Structure 1
Amino acid sequence: MELMKQIWEMAQQDRKKIVLPEGDEERTLVASQKITEIGLAHVILVGNTAKIKEKAQKLGVNLEGVTIEDPETSGKLQGYINGFYELRKSKGMTLEKAEKIVRDPLYFGTMMVKMDDADGMVSGAIHTTGDLLRPGLQIIKTAPGVSVVSSFFIMMVPGSKYGEEGMLLFSDCAVNPNPTADQLAAIAIATADTARNLCKVEPRVAMLSFSTMGSADHELVEKVRKATEKAKELRPDLMIDGEMQLDAAIVEKVASQKAPNSNVAGKANVLIFPDLQAGNIGYKLVQRFANAEAIGPVCQGFAKPINDLSRGCSSDDIVSVVALTAVQAQTIKNS
């Protein structure tokens, strides 16, 4: 779609080094060739060199232009071990423990990003979100002024009139199980900034609930209400409103009845879900019932871009997330 074409073009203009720690995974290898041929990024695969080359040969994948970093033979290993030890020694880390941990491809790849040997990392084809977040939070940590790491999906719904001609951002669908009101406010602000900086659209953020503007009274509704107030207080420049039901957020006719005074209701393009259950169920429903393309989950809030994949992802999904990660890296470098 038009957005991904735009993101590809941005990635091609300033190619970043993106590390893929699942180096011998089949979809990752296929994606690496595509990414390199298209010129979206300089790909760095982490893993056993012989195993990666053998698997690539079996798949008919051309790794010309792709860098392979084997933790066991890399000249960078000792520097990463020392760096990780320094970062974690106050938490009880020893050099002996660090030597074992950093040999893990996910930790090795994260240290590459930390030490500026790579601009970003993408993982998750065979690892869980927790596997990715653990080294990310220990090593990269959150960006200045950001209190919580969260995730978003770019949902592209063919033929839809909702959002930006069928494009909406859903958050948080992968990271925070039950965010507090303050965390929910931070997630809303981060996703609004993502819409502006990455998707190049003016965000209209709806804080979702089963209530619209006081139609129901419950502690779950109160959390969303408080989060809305907090987000507005922190960022008065953003269009954020709530609490509101999904139909009031995206359907103008419903919005005119339920929230006639809202500048967001009926035309929201960023949907903030009250918890992970709602967000995860919501994006999967839209993906399956509306045949939508779900790009992500993409993380936001890290000091440097580290992004997750669904374990059911295709090689094309990996290409898309690498392109997004490259553009995030451009944004961080230019900020």
Structure 2
Amino acid sequence: MESQLRKNLEERLQNLEKEVYLVFPECHSPNVREAVNLLDKYPKVKTIPLSAELLKSKGMEDLVESFLPEYEEATRNYYEKQVKKGKMDKKDWESFNREKARKELCDPLNFALMMARKNYADAEVGGVEATTAEHTRRALYLVNKDPRKENIVCSCTMEFLTPVKLEDKGEGTTREIRFLTLADPALGKPAMEYGFVTSEKLLKSMKEGNLISEESYQKSIAKVEEEKRGYIRLKCDQAISALVWHKFLTQERPIGAFLCHSTAGSDQASLYVQFLRQEVIPAIVKALEEEKKHNPLLKDAVFISQECQVEAASDPRIGRKKAKGEAYAGYANVHLLSAVDTGNQHYKTFLTFTEMDSMICWSGFLKPIYDLSRSSPVKDIVLSALVAATQAIPGTAFAEKEKWQQKIYEMNKNL
């Protein structure tokens, strides 16, 4: 079956007024090389394929040297912050010099991010070889976060090449599911690292048992409350971003649901479920209503007001039973996950056992940065590159940008 996602993106590419420059730092990967070659069919997409071998060649010396002072300064500042946090030895920071900076800059990932920083590239597409943690860490200090955004968030939109059909005898209809978007498949903490859910109760019992002072209790509670607020803001950002991406990529009405082991309060004893129902989901619903006022992509978006198990979220036959009174239960096409471990495994299960196309979409960096999975097939690299091309805002045109894109492209062919 023809990919509707690709068709939608190709239609958007036709509306591009300027050429878009995409840099790929992992062209030592056969999959990335093949994807770059396939992108040649799109005249407005200009690819910049990088590899360690290419960066060691004499033809790249001038560009490396022109990037070097700014790379050294940005990296030194980052390392200094790491020392203060206790995550780096002070001796390593003090010994960082121009020669070490030059060696690091010749790492294709670092060089690609510097090309984005210096406007030689409009977007970067990586993560096929580098881990998500390493890719995003470097992007945060070389490309930087958008100051208007509090969180870096990602979502994954999937297209089932054989649509899932659900026969609903109760309604006398058959529902066809072709698209699904997951929020939080790559960033955030694993669920076990969120201690704020149970900390408040534990601290209260310690205080009542005179194990901690009133002052310590108040300070600890303040930290717990701040962590809870941070989690709520993160989930609001993830939900809004995923709903926007789903609409943008699929043109379907986005309907979101917060996935959980409980549906509509079925686990009444869970502190986490209570937290979702009382604080998190109401905050998401409120944030969505605010975003609708100025984002046309969210005009018809909905977020279900109860937590849902997977089948209650996306199968109306189950949704009617488990979440009575929720008009959209069973119709969700955007799944918001509790933490990175659940999100990642939800995505990887589909990737392993289902024939599908998928793309991972990111929000929050100053420039479009796209981090793929190390298990991404060629077609998913191409799709993510097309998303990057449609989202990139072409920087100011200058002769060096075009010159180096053409030079690197030709040099890469001869390696």
TM-score band w.r.t. shorter chain: 0.7 to 0.9
Q: Report the counterpart of residue 172 of structure 2 in structure 1.
A: none
Deviation at 1:328, TM superposition (A): 2.1
Preserved CA contact (<8 Å) 2:122 2:395: no
Separation (CA, whole Å) in 2 of partners of 1:272 and 1:69: 43
Q: Report the counterpart of residue 179 of structure 2 in structure 1.
A: 167
Mark the CA change 1:159 to 1:16 in structure 2 (over 3 Å): closer, same or farther: same
Percent pairwise identity? 24
Separation (CA, whole Å) in 2 of partners of 1:24 and 1:73: 17
The CA RMSD over aligned residues, in Å, is 2.9
Q: Report the counterpart of residue 61 of structure 1 in structure 2.
A: none
For residues 218-297 of structure 1, what are the structure 2 equivalents within 5 Å? 218-225=270-277, 226-236=279-289, 237=292, 238-241=301-304, 242-289=306-353, 291-297=354-360
Mark the CA change 1:164 to 1:223 in structure 2 (over 3 Å): closer, same or farther: farther
Deviation at 1:126, TM superposition (A): 1.9
Preserved CA contact (<8 Å) 2:8 2:249: no
Matched, 1:181 2:232: yes
Separation (CA, whole Å) in 2 of partners of 1:106 and 1:171: 25
Comparing 279-288 with 27-36, which one deviates more in the overlay?
279-288
Deviation at 1:113, TM superposition (A): 0.9
1:115 is matched with which residue: 115, 118, 126?
Answer: 118
Deviation at 1:147, TM superposition (A): 1.9
1:125 is matched with which residue: 123, 128, 131?
Answer: 128
SS of the aligned residue for 2:62 comes to coil
For residues 1-335 of structure 1, what are the structure 2 equivalents within 5 Å? 1-14=3-16, 15-39=19-43, 41-48=45-52, 51=53, 73-88=60-75, 90-91=77-78, 92=80, 96=98, 98-157=101-160, 158-161=162-165, 165-178=177-190, 180-217=231-268, 218-225=270-277, 226-236=279-289, 237=292, 238-241=301-304, 242-289=306-353, 291-330=354-393
Mark the CA change 1:12 to 1:118 in structure 2 (over 3 Å): closer, same or farther: farther
Which structure has more relative contact order (CA 8 Å, sep 6+)? It is 2
Mark the CA change 1:32 to 1:208 in structure 2 (over 3 Å): closer, same or farther: same
Separation (CA, whole Å) in 1 of partners of 2:32 and 2:154: 21
Preserved CA contact (<8 Å) 2:370 2:388: yes
Deviation at 1:194, TM superposition (A): 1.6
CA deviation digits over 1:57-90, x for unaligned, max 9? xxxxxxxxxxx99698243323423333444554
Rg larger in 1 or in 2? 2
Separation (CA, whole Å) in 1 of partners of 2:48 and 2:56: 7
Separation (CA, whole Å) in 2 of partners of 1:302 and 1:28: 22
Deviation at 1:128, TM superposition (A): 1.3
Mark the CA change 1:71 to 1:273 in structure 2 (over 3 Å): closer, same or farther: farther
SS of the aligned residue for 1:137 comes to helix
CA deviation digits over 1:207-232, x for unaligned, max 9? 11111222213133244333212222
Show structure 1 runs of 5+ residues with no match: 53-67
SS of the aligned residue for 2:23 comes to strand
Separation (CA, whole Å) in 1 of partners of 2:393 and 2:355: 27
Separation (CA, whole Å) in 1 of partners of 2:150 and 2:76: 23
Structure 2 letter corresponding to 1:143:
D
Q: TM-score normalised to the size of structure 1?
A: 0.83
Preserved CA contact (<8 Å) 1:190 1:301: no
Preserved CA contact (<8 Å) 2:368 2:391: yes
